[in-house]
Structure 1
Amino acid sequence: MSTGSTNPKLSVIIPCYKVEKYLPKCIASLVGQTLDSYELIFINDGSPDRCIDILKEWQSRYPDRIVIIDKENEGVWRGRWDGIAKARGEYIGFLDSDDYAEPNFLEDLYQAAKSADADIAVCGFSRTDLATGKVLSREMCDKREDFTIADDPGRLLELNGAPWNKIFRASVLKGLDDLSAIPPVLDDLLFHWLAYLEMDGRVVFVPESLVNYMVRSDSIIQTVKPQQVDPTYAAFREVKRRYTDAGAPKAKQEALDAAAFLHLGISFNYRLAASPNCDLDATIKKCTAFLNEYFPTWHDSPYINGRYARLHGKTYQRLLTVSRFYKLGLLPAFLSVYSAVINHLGIDIKW
């Protein structure tokens, strides 16, 4: 299983911080992959627990497979950029160190990407509650038509905002410029949209659950705070400026505007609503003003309307529905009902 002297087909980047309880399962799932040529780049991000010891122990058993970057703590965002710089693969993938993958995770994604000469390959995943082991949902597992970004960038809205169920063409990621400030929230999403700016090729799908994403109550996305709003907005503003300065096609900029509404207007505000210090009405008002100024096509987006929803299915139908509540000033009521439903049923319904 050694990659030998040639570059591997695929590099996988796994940041590690305070995950000693979960890391061995993650590593075991990756060293046993069926793909014949890949490398695993683990970033020990100054973790104060036994992560580095666990990584070195596994590296001693798989010296040709495992690469370790041991560094001071700078967070997941910086760690991923360090991993990209180190990666030798034709494609680059990611996994969170408290999650684990199915044995065919890398092979299925690589073969799908390679056969279509795709910029991105996406697989399905299972969201599982870490405390109870209950599967909350299986996502991206329905069959979807491949698409070309240049032809229909609106379909980028279908892709979940995390990188760990995707592989990307390495040459694109290695050419990206970092943001001037690290986004405290929704950093994965903004990383995607930095990559999308440089991509016009194909996106292919593997409609099987190949990643097991473990939902932890203390994860960053579950604990958004009001003081994180302004720096998150600043990061979105910088990404928008990149698109404008690059002269990105109108359709791609409209897709970015729609994504900003979906993730700031809905997802971000939903997380903020859980904070006892959040004035939700004021937060939504501020968000709307921000979207209107920097992402102005969100309100009449060609990707958030009945025609596009009929053509492309449930993702866009849900987005259209929640946008109507938002525009009518009913988002607080909608979020209240949404929270009650998912808490009562013990499931998560993605919007």
Structure 2
Amino acid sequence: MPLFSIIVPVYNVERYLRECVDSLLSQTFKDFEIILVNDGSTDSSGMLCRQFQIGYPDIIRIIEQENRGLLMARRAGFAIARGDIIMTVDSDDKLRNNALERIHKVFQHHHPDIVCFEGGRDEHFTLNGSPMFDGERVFFSGNKAEILSRLCDTYRFNSIWSKAFSRRIFDAYNRYEQYEGLSFGEDLLQIVGLFDKAESFAYIPDVLYFYRPNPDSLVQKFNPKNYEDLMISRGALIRYASQWESRYPGHYMLTHVYMVNLWITGLLLQLAAGSMSHRDFVAFCVHVRGSEFFRDSYCCKRAVKLLRPDIRIVVISERYGLGVFIRAMSSLKNLLLGRVRS
């Protein structure tokens, strides 16, 4: 059996798929399988998957299914994975050529349940921003709260593709059908239970993953459904963070979860203000303001104070139904962004 199973969900990525698969085939560590899950592609992606399998029949396996979305494509791959270490790579992204070698060494030396590493938006695998932790780290029961806190206090740690999971804790056969169609926050939904279950973690400060910028991402394009997905995925984190805060007093995990909830909600409100009609925007604001998700997060005054000033203004404006201030903030940001781009 292979040591690594790498799941690659594939949907209409004919432009990037070869780069992705080549980055896996060129790994310096060779004990792995690749599972390509063709999620009902309508371009030539399915044909490319079959060509790859013909060329590498001992390494590449294929699942063909009707389009069910990224979450269910990943779950289909996880269900047939044979490796002791399970990873996922998006089909428009790439792994650094020594990524598996670095991860394998950490598993050999520390025997963790989960290995975390950095991803970047530069094809030269350079880090954008600050690392999650300073230097290579190992977390056991004595300092597990530190890594759980990081999952709570930033959305940057929520990705499933920046982690490798030991089979002994991985829930490959858990049913996720009730979440089919979830497109925002599905990574967090899958990893939060694994972080709770894991007894040991390791962190590699190197960028091992190239994450290609997505023009349809949250920060680029507004979709009202994102808020519904947000309530599901981060609702799961709220439930776990409540338990963790009781288990590890003094870490304010729930406070930080609420803070990030409000930050993302504030961002969504600004995107909505810049892309919806006045009538639809007002309706969206009423929906957000009336949600238990927003009310509970806003009731944590410490979380509101932790927000940066512009997001705090948006969130407070939403609480009191002052959509005009949200529109003004959105317009100001668009104007400033336009000046930067020009």
- The reply to whether residue 250 of structure 1 matches residue 246 of structure 2 is yes
The residue number in structure 1 matching 2:320 is none
Contact 2:274 2:331 in 1 (8 A): no
The residue number in structure 1 matching 2:194 is 195
AA partner of residue 86 (structure 1): I
Query: Equivalents in 1 of 2:124, 2:281: separation in Å?
Result: 33
- The reply to whether residue 73 of structure 1 matches residue 73 of structure 2 is no
The residue number in structure 1 matching 2:322 is none
Query: Equivalents in 1 of 2:216, 2:19: separation in Å?
Result: 19
Instruction: Find the structure with the greater CA-based Rg.
Output: 2
Query: Equivalents in 2 of 1:168, 1:300: separation in Å?
Result: 34
Q: Deviations over 1:86-134 (max 9, x none)?
A: 1122222111111122201222233234423333323333325xxxx99
Q: Deviations over 1:143-192 (max 9, x none)?
A: 52536363322122354332222212333222655373333322223223
Q: More deviation in 331-340 or 66-75?
A: 331-340
The residue number in structure 2 matching 1:33 is 27
Residues 297, 87 of structure 1: alpha-carbon distance in 2 compared, 3 angstrom cutoff: farther
Query: Equivalents in 1 of 2:19, 2:145: separation in Å?
Result: 40
The residue number in structure 1 matching 2:292 is 290
The residue number in structure 1 matching 2:77 is 83
- The reply to whether residue 173 of structure 1 matches residue 170 of structure 2 is yes
The residue number in structure 2 matching 1:275 is 275
The residue number in structure 2 matching 1:217 is 215
Contact 2:85 2:164 in 1 (8 A): yes
SS at 1:207 equivalent: strand
SS at 2:168 equivalent: helix
**Structure 1: 5+ residue stretches without partners:** 1-6, 306-318, 347-351
The residue number in structure 1 matching 2:105 is 111
Residues 214, 49 of structure 1: alpha-carbon distance in 2 compared, 3 angstrom cutoff: same
Contact 1:99 1:211 in 2 (8 A): yes
Query: Equivalents in 2 of 1:196, 1:296: separation in Å?
Result: 26
Match among 121, 138, 143 for residue 128 of structure 2 = 138
Query: Equivalents in 1 of 2:199, 2:327: separation in Å?
Result: 37
Aligned-pair distance for 1:13? 1.1
Q: Deviations over 1:231-254 (max 9, x none)?
A: 54245445545777xx55536795
Query: Equivalents in 2 of 1:207, 1:343: separation in Å?
Result: 34
Contact 1:154 1:251 in 2 (8 A): no
AA partner of residue 61 (structure 1): G
AA partner of residue 201 (structure 1): S
Residues 335, 137 of structure 1: alpha-carbon distance in 2 compared, 3 angstrom cutoff: farther
Identity %: 22
Residues 240, 279 of structure 1: alpha-carbon distance in 2 compared, 3 angstrom cutoff: same
SS at 1:214 equivalent: coil
Contact 1:280 1:332 in 2 (8 A): no
The residue number in structure 2 matching 1:184 is 183
Query: Equivalents in 2 of 1:58, 1:327: separation in Å?
Result: 49
Aligned-residue Cα RMSD (Å) equals 3.8
SS at 2:179 equivalent: coil
**Structure 2: 5+ residue stretches without partners:** 318-324
Aligned-pair distance for 1:265? 2.8
Query: Equivalents in 1 of 2:270, 2:165: separation in Å?
Result: 29
Query: Equivalents in 2 of 1:147, 1:320: separation in Å?
Result: 31
Residues 295, 172 of structure 1: alpha-carbon distance in 2 compared, 3 angstrom cutoff: farther
Contact 2:267 2:311 in 1 (8 A): no
Match among 41, 45, 48 for residue 51 of structure 1 = 45
Contact 1:224 1:275 in 2 (8 A): yes
Aligned-pair distance for 1:299? 3.6
